[in-house]
Amino acid sequence: MRVVALEEHFSHPALRDPELVARLREHPRMGHIEGALADVGEQRLADMDAAGIDVQVLSHTVPGAEGPDPERAVRAATEVNDALAATVAAHPSRFAGFATLPMQDPEQAAAELERAVRGLGLRGTMINGLTAGTFLDDPRFMPVLECAQDLDVPIYLHPALPPEPVAQAYYSGLQPEVGRVLAMAGWGWHAEAALHTLRLIVSGIFDRLPRLQLIIGHMGEMIPFALDRIDHVLTPLTPQLRQPIPEYFQTNIHITTSGYTAVAPLQCALSVLGVDRILFSVDYPYLHNQAARTLLDTAPLSSADREKIAHGNADRLLRL
């Protein structure tokens, strides 16, 4: 069975955060991550082979180009995307890529997305969380969203560190490491990404751009479990939308399995969204390939559905 993994991270010196690198090196369970992020060659391919993963769609890890000042961000995004395209060209049957964008300057970001897709052959973009505290439904980001629709490539919406006021209000007053993890993979990342996704729906972005495709990770960022409740309380308040809120998860939004290795969340997502909206991911190197592959191999799925999650849905969406 061919297997394509969509949320697989790397790092590049142009965007490497020294403070984050230092924290990773000191962390008792994450010390190996920094080296694995930097490697897009022999060891990464060996890890893929060991777990039977045929293709990784590479994207720059958090923090991406959303953080630096606009001038540096434009230079860094160009450098990172050029390097990513070279990596894909060196192993075209094993790697594809999502572009990094300088979102602080939406016009430049749209131009870079067009260059990355038309000129470099990348398959879309990954955008990490808020840009300067602002969600993607802000009108100033419309050039990027319009460009993605025009190019017929998806936006993968990934969480990022919370804005400082949110971090202070929600995650302070705890043992520092606990607070940091609670703000990120322990809870906060997923709550923010879910909120970001719902804002895009209720603000009417997908009505103005009906062909725009969004991918969210981590088994839908908790939305599948909550979608019935969301529908019950939000859909009646948004009669201006073209369809009920859950239906956007059939027309515009896909989810990936990144970071999850348990059957129950997958069963929930399948029950709520259906198999055609779910794509396999690992979240490498933050999660081991084999753990994610075990979920794919052992989940109670038909052969046809397993193939869809493993590669069929990704092949169709990204034209792999």
Q: Which residues are catalytic?
A: 283
Distance CA 1, CA 197 (A): 31
Distance CA 32, CA 19 (A): 16
The token pair at 290 is 């084999």
Cβ pair 197, 253 in contact under 8 A: yes
Cβ pair 287, 261 in contact under 8 A: yes
Q: How many CA atoms lie within 13 A of 152 on its CB side?
A: 4
Cβ pair 291, 315 in contact under 8 A: no
9, β-bridge pairs: 59
Give residue 45's identity as a one-letter amino acid code: L
Strands of the sheet containing 155-158, edge to edge, are: 125-128, 155-158, 214-216, 253-256, 278-279
